[in-house]
Structure 1
């Protein structure tokens, strides 16, 4: 009777259909997704490192909410970082959404409220003096890269993909049209940015015109398609190699080690400056290349200095009101 009722409600699932092992299904799931190479590699790595050993050989229809809770609890107890666990959980949830759509299982077993969300600790925001100090003390060929990371809020992949023609000196406009990705084996490739919103024009402060001109004259080949940033031997900068150069520059610039400042933090720094200058949420989204509001809203938080300025302004209103009352 129950089967007949499910068939009438179009909710019946063939119990034999879900006997496919998770390993087999996830391999097909990843293959059929329209993923960028770097994203595909990351999904495969997270599944391999954090999922296969616990539920890889389990049939889909035997993966229950309790098993998912145990899987997550085991990862956290083993010391796996919460951001990694949250990211892996989001992938699992998406996999089981498809399994439901494929009529292999009736319900998604990933039902832990908030498990796919992890709020990262607030990163330090560099000061204007610190940004310029790093730019002055890094290898000269990367000086402009540091400035653009802060004042154009670019990601590393977007920075190293820039060409001579990406910057219009007359209008001081920079156009992002691609990003350079890097696989685990070191292979580098140019691809579209992370989202459609990633292709964007960015107005640069005119105060950087001299810096751009000097860089073009000294470090960029004449061809219109010549890359803006190359290493001393003419290679495309790699994250691991650049990180060594970056850390050396931080030390020379006197940046406190406990600040643990990354190049990507300059994107956060510049976005915070933009928000404090009065940029709207929509303007921030366009500038940093995000299609969702969540990331842009991060940069609209008030800094301590700005918060103190607001408090001082409110204090002035209180004093004025009390003075008038006394009169």
Structure 2
């Protein structure tokens, strides 16, 4: 009996050791929470030991961790490691992964003004990411993108030749692409993927359409040129020229007009035009105007009232939702942007004296300039044009200043003439 007690296994001072039938050793212990735990791997699988010494070493390390207050239950440790692995993977996300996820997200998030971005805007973003940013940055980790990287991308984009106008020393896309890159990186910084925002200036924006000596006044068509463009356009679409020039509508606003948007007086000698929607050039869908200020009404200038009335009678369907510029005469389908662009390109080629590449949008610029020349205030210009940013309208004040200079000169001539009539031959006033 004494011999049997001598060969019995000595109990551990803390925890329990047990040899399994496989001859490996199992270690068990009671945690601070009063529960009994077996040794486990970091992956949460049961852990056994080749020798009893190894098993005892595990118990000693576990006991020391409890004493230091660093012990975690196997479940808590597994959850922590899983979270750490997920955070590490998130921190290692590539620009391609983050940018594409960001594009999906911003379709529903409000933008700078608190409004949800339009589908067309997101489509433009996608094009810039795909065409200009994924190439140099797609496989790079977001956290590795710093000022040097952004500067290199900016320089490369600015050096690319223009697709629209070969031969010019700038391309017109670098500024917008770098601004979008910064927008994405600011979001990455808010999401904790980027520690500091790269400090790189946006490349200057220069139009590829014009030479350096081009001025906005060069894009103002004469009334004769507007009439010539009207005559050159397809008959059932040509009213678009007058709506852009003399009602100062944007292309999408013109193509989005419906019969109900033209409200006549009793004898149809005057009309009010209501802008309530636009046709999106990218999605092809009818949507709200560009901004809240875009919803507006305006008097139709008398110079185009007769032509507008004739157009509605001849080419526009009777229904209140019938498009003012239909794809087919009296049809229910709004004219597509690309179809109109092709017709416009052919019409402008038939008109002499227009700048190269004269845009349909330049007709709106023409109309607002003439409005300014008649003495319209900034508020009146903003209302007529549906602008929300006063800085955009300030360019039309150049036309107002030209008118002011002309009026000042005419006033000066009149005053001098009156003064001359009251002076003698020696220049002294005659009483």
TM-score category (smaller protein):
0.7 to 0.9
Question: Residue 243 in 1 paired to residue 325 in 2?
Answer: no
Superposed displacement of residue 303, structure 1? 7.8
Any conservation in 2 of the 1:155–1:264 contact (CA below 8 Å)?
Answer: yes
| Correspondence for 1:175 | 274
Secondary structure at the counterpart of residue 58 of structure 1: coil
Question: Residue 199 in 1 paired to residue 286 in 2?
Answer: no
Any conservation in 1 of the 2:221–2:354 contact (CA below 8 Å)?
Answer: no
Unaligned runs of 5+ in 1: 1-13
Unaligned runs of 5+ in 2: 1-86, 109-116, 163-169
Task: Kindly report which structure 2 residues correspond to 1:11-22, keeping only aligned pairs within 5 A, or say none.
Answer: 18-22=91-95
Structure 1 residue corresponding to 2:308, chosen from 202, 205, 212:
212
Task: Kindly report which structure 2 residues correspond to 1:78-89, keeping only aligned pairs within 5 A, or say none.
Answer: 78-80=160-162, 81-89=170-178
CA RMSD, 1 decimal: 2.9
Superposed displacement of residue 218, structure 1? 0.3
Structure 2 residue corresponding to 1:28, chosen from 101, 119, 123:
101
**Whole-Å separation in 2 of the counterparts to 1:156 and 1:289:** 13
Superposed displacement of residue 182, structure 1? 3.5
Q: Deviations over 1:67-88 (max 9, x none)?
A: 1111111112222554311111
Superposed displacement of residue 163, structure 1? 0.5
Task: Kindly report which structure 2 residues correspond to 1:307-318, keeping only aligned pairs within 5 A, or say none.
Answer: 309=406, 312-313=409-410, 316=413
Task: Kindly report which structure 2 residues correspond to 1:225-304, keeping only aligned pairs within 5 A, or say none.
Answer: 225-232=321-328, 234=331, 235-252=333-350, 254-256=351-353, 258-302=355-399
| Correspondence for 1:159 | 254
Task: Kindly report which structure 2 residues correspond to 1:181-192, keeping only aligned pairs within 5 A, or say none.
Answer: 181-183=280-282, 188-192=284-288
Q: Which has the larger radius of gyration?
A: 2
Structure 2 residue corresponding to 1:57, chosen from 133, 139, 161:
139
Any conservation in 1 of the 2:230–2:239 contact (CA below 8 Å)?
Answer: yes
**Whole-Å separation in 2 of the counterparts to 1:274 and 1:29:** 42
**Whole-Å separation in 2 of the counterparts to 1:152 and 1:219:** 20
Question: TM (normalized to structure 2)?
Answer: 0.65
Superposed displacement of residue 302, structure 1? 2.8
Question: TM (normalized to structure 1)?
Answer: 0.83
**Whole-Å separation in 2 of the counterparts to 1:17 and 1:319:** 78
| Correspondence for 1:106 | 195
Secondary structure at the counterpart of residue 290 of structure 1: coil
Any conservation in 2 of the 1:177–1:192 contact (CA below 8 Å)?
Answer: yes
Any conservation in 2 of the 1:149–1:159 contact (CA below 8 Å)?
Answer: yes
Superposed displacement of residue 37, structure 1? 1.6
Any conservation in 2 of the 1:284–1:296 contact (CA below 8 Å)?
Answer: yes
Identify, as 1 or 2, the structure richer in helix.
1
Any conservation in 2 of the 1:93–1:110 contact (CA below 8 Å)?
Answer: no
